[in-house]
Amino acid sequence: MESDFLSVPSSHSFQFSCGSHIPCFNECCRNLNQLLTPYDVLRLKNSLGICANDFLERYTSQHTGPESGFPIVRLREKPDDGFKCPFVTSEGCSVYHDRPSSCRAYPIARGVVRNRQTGKLTEHFMLLKEPHCKGFQTGKHHSVHEWIENQGLMIYNKMNDLLMEIISLKNVTMPGHLDIKSRHLFHMAGYDIDSFRNKIFNKGLLNSANYDEHLLSKAKEDDTALLKISLKWLQKKIFGQTG
């Protein structure tokens, strides 16, 4: 039986709960094919107290998107343990506070469309019902909007939308594969955020480029501020976008 994707408005109410009281607890934490966004990597590596490069080497696999040429980062499962997520335990997720956005959003999936003329974002939501999941049979009712707020998704959506701006920009201005140099820059600035910090503060990567001085100062210690700068830098460096 296949999963059902139901398009729903943000006001849609659905019943759902997840936890050790649900018979399928932890079943969704295997065979994930789990893509990670730059903000996901940022939160996870900080949760584990390691640098981005160490996190990427230990916990992810990486390849190049066959159509876009973008670097793709996936969470590496444990094949000797039923292809489970490396962070799942019998008690649940060991990095729950900093779990990836798609785990956090489940069972909601969010899509975004940007108007090319106005730049306005329009959100679309789907409710994912998978055969193995028993979470829909118990718990309180939530609207999509309430779920997003309660699961701490606002900052994830905001940061992931910055990534989507880059993907959209590429689709419009540079169809086809990114070249090797652009892929390297994207990986470094998007995922290996600690290396990017070293490049801008110790190697003069930004030089005289115009960046908000307050944000730049904050980025010396704040990874979220740093990621905002890095994604803006990628727009300019790869696609010549200055806005």
For 224-242, write each residue's pLDDT tens digit.
999 999 999 999 888 877 5
The answer to whether residues 79 and 151 belong to one domain is: yes
- Retrieve residue 162's tokens: 């910055």
Domain extent, residue 16, equals 4-157
127-172 residue pLDDT tens: 999 888 999 988 899 999 999 999 999 999 999 999 988 988 888 8
Query: pTM for the complete prediction?
Result: 0.92
The answer to whether residues 57 and 146 belong to one domain is: yes
pLDDT at position 1 is: 40
**Rounded mean pLDDT, 206-214:** 75
**Rounded mean pLDDT, 68-92:** 89
The answer to whether residues 70 and 134 belong to one domain is: yes
pLDDT band at 209 (very low <50, low <70, confident <90, very high): low
Q: Sort 132 into a burial class: Cβ within 10 Å, 0-12 / 13-18 / 19+.
A: exposed
Residue 243 in this model has a pLDDT that exceeds 80: no
Phi-psi region of 64 (alpha: psi -120 to 50; beta: other; left: phi over 0): beta
The answer to whether residues 148 and 189 belong to one domain is: no
Kindly report the average pLDDT of the chain as a whole number.
Answer: 90
pLDDT band at 103 (very low <50, low <70, confident <90, very high): very high
- Local structure of residue 10 (DSSP, 8 states): T
30-58 residue pLDDT tens: 888 899 999 999 999 999 999 999 999 99
pLDDT at position 150 is: 95
Domain count, the chain: 2
The answer to whether residues 150 and 234 belong to one domain is: no
Print burial letters for 68-90: b (CB count within 10 Å at least 16), e (below 16). bbbbbbebbbeeeeeebbebbee
- Retrieve residue 83's tokens: 């292809």
The answer to whether residues 59 and 137 belong to one domain is: yes
